[in-house]
Structure 1
Amino acid sequence: MHNLSPLPQYLTKRYHGWKATSYNENRAWFRRLATEGQRPRAMVISCCDSRVHVTSIFGADSGEFFIHRNIANLVPAYAPDGLQHGTSAAVEYAVAALKVAHLIVVGHTNCGGVAGCHAMCSGAAPELEEKTSFVGRWMDILRPGYDRVKELPEADQVPALEREAVLVSLENLMTFPFVRSAVEAGEMSLHGIVHDITEGTLVQAEDGGRRWVSV
């Protein structure tokens, strides 16, 4: 490939700063992770949004979280159809191979993906209905959530849909046989939270998503 470029200088400087401080001060820990492998306690599924930084929110160290990020923190329903499913593969590896004890879906406020889904489903974004739209076809996962909020006052629909993105993902996770088996055996628990990126607060779903309470 002839269209590759060196890293931007600001990233190079940050790397050297990390190597000289965090890495050198914890060299034994990083080598242990390399030789013994990872044993994360939790898998986190969060949005690609650069404003959502779950390792900072929870003060996580290297090796603590198995993290998968995608548009609007969505999980598709179980579909062993022979196609490529990045999110499903990540879930399978975390549950079946790493044996994580917790699987946490993290939504957030002001989510562009959720807003796009709302616009698409309400007819305001016909471009997302095109078969060639990767974002649109991905946001199809959230259509059941839109159906549950579309009768709310207009101003309340997108915030409610942000929570539905978490709930739909949790519902879909339970369609995976290995997830359901781990949950029913008490080997793993599911959690759903929404991060308010303005206020820095977290709310978590309880009672099957019928109510949300502050963390």
Structure 2
Amino acid sequence: MSPNVGLREQKRRRTKQALVTAALRLFSEKGYDRTTVAEIATAAEVSYATFFNYFTAKDEVIFADDDLYDDLLAEVFAVHDPQERPADLLLRAMRHLSRATVWSFPLEHEFTRLRARLIAEVPALRAAALLRNAALQQRLADALLRAYPHEIDALHAAALTGALVGAVDAVLNSAVPADSSPESIAAVVDDACRISLRGHLSNTPVTP
């Protein structure tokens, strides 16, 4: 990649981050429904048209990081130990996601919590989140089947990944105290994963 391409990509990422930050700050101050795209663009110091170079609608700002999942999961699924069971690989994948540093905001950031609250409170966002979680679950199931083509079938993969995604979504949206530390949030996610995969994990500790 040439230096110019690299600089353009850096600029795109900064602009996208500015839009996400401005939107979430306005959602916190004014409420999601009362915030307009024009206000978000103004707060991010970009034009109204520029907003639509990154998002097609206001609700997409809430899910700005969705395009990161595939690369993060590919990093985990690319190589797995022959002794690693399907559930072990899923647990390792979720640990990788929860500890990744590429997200717009860290897991413990106030805007991450705000995002979770908005998804829980705004019906349209909750509906969109359910659809996106279903898509993530399907991608996880497909990846698991590719990793273990002879050990599991589609039903097994769907059951494991569905339980995992549902458990993590449930604890992040309802079971994490507002004053939790980053370590305790990661621990809650890990516990939820283990509970959802109970009976399918090996006795060998899963490394992050």
TM > 0.5 fold call: no
TM range (shorter): under 0.3
TM-score, normalised to structure 2, is 0.28
